[in-house]
Chain A
Amino acid sequence: NAGVTQTPKFRVLKTGQSMTLLCAQDMNHEYMYWYRQDPGMGLRLIHYSVGEGTTAKGEVPDGYNVSRLKKQNFLLGLESAAPSQTSVYFCASTPLRWVRGGIFTDTQYFGPGTRLTVL
C-alpha cells in the first residue's frame, strides 16, 4: 500500500492564480481531511469529508474549495491564490470505526505534505 499520497510536492503560484492539490489514499478509508500548517504552528483543519460526495468546513475554510467525487481522492482547490495561503498542506485519512456510544475517530494517516508558496 502506498498509504496517503499528495500531488504536487512543491508549487509556486502568483497572486490570483488557481490550482488544485490532489490527495489519494489506497486504504479504503471513509474520512479524509485537508490541513494547513504555517511556520511554527500546529495543523489547522480546512475541510473534511465523511464519505464520497460529502464535504464539510473545518476551522479555516475561507479561500478553499474541496471535492470528493471518488472515495479514494480528495481535492483541495484554490480559486484565486493569496500570499496568506502560503503554507504546507497536509492531507489525512481515517477509517470509520464504531464503538459503543458513538463513532470513534480512528488513527489519522497523513500524507507527506505539499509546500505552497504564493508570491
Chain B
Amino acid sequence: DAKTTQPNSMESNEEEPVHLPCNHSTISGTDYIHWYRQLPSQGPEYVIHGLTSNVNNRMASLAIAEDRKSSTLILHRATLRDAAVYYCILTAGANNLFFGTGTRLTVIP
C-alpha cells in the first residue's frame, strides 16, 4: 500500500494561511489523495480530495505537484477551530486507507 509522510506538528498564527505538506513518492496512477482532520475527542472528518488537478472547496485548497509525489493542504485563514490532527491518505479502493500519525496543527491566538 502506498504510504504518506507528514511532519509530526506545525504551528500557525490565527488568521494566517497554513500550508500542510504531504509526501507520497510511491503513489500509483489510480491513487486519489484524500485529506481528513480529527478534532479533539472526535472522529475524523473529510476535508478535501483530488487526483491530479488542484482542488478548492469551502474548507481548504489542495495543491498537487505535477509529478503527484507530493501535495499541500492549504487553509487560507487559520482559526482556533482548525486546531486538529490532519491526515493525508492515498486511496485506490475500499480497504487500503492508511492514516499514519498525521500532522498536529496548533493555532496560536
- A residues at B contact (CB < 8 Å): 4, 31, 33, 35, 40-45, 48, 50, 56, 58-59, 90, 92, 94, 101-105, 107-113
Cβ–Cβ < 8 Å partners of B102 in chain A: 42
A35 to B94, CA, bound (A): 14
Segment 2-46 of B: residues with Cβ below 8 Å from A: 30, 32, 34, 36, 41-46
**Closest beta carbon of chain A to B95's beta carbon, Å:** 5
A83 to B20, CA, bound (A): 35
Considering the complex, give the chain B residue whose CB is closest to the CB of A104: B32
Q: How many A-B residue pairs have CB under 8 A?
A: 60
Is B94's CB under 8 angstroms from A105's CB?
A: yes
What does DSSP make chain A's interface, helix, strand, loop or mixed? strand
**Closest beta carbon of chain B to A61's beta carbon, Å:** 12
Considering the complex, give the chain A residue whose CB is closest to the CB of B104: A40
Count residues of chain B with CB under 8 A from any CB of chain A. Answer: 23
- B residues at A contact (CB < 8 Å): 30, 32, 34, 36, 41-46, 49, 87, 91-95, 97-102
A112 to B87, CA, bound (A): 17
A111 to B43, CA, bound (A): 6
Known: A43-B99, A50-B94, A105-B93. A112 touches B42 (CB 8 A): yes
A56 to B34, CA, bound (A): 23
Is B46's CB under 8 angstroms from A107's CB?
A: yes
**Closest beta carbon of chain B to A107's beta carbon, Å:** 4
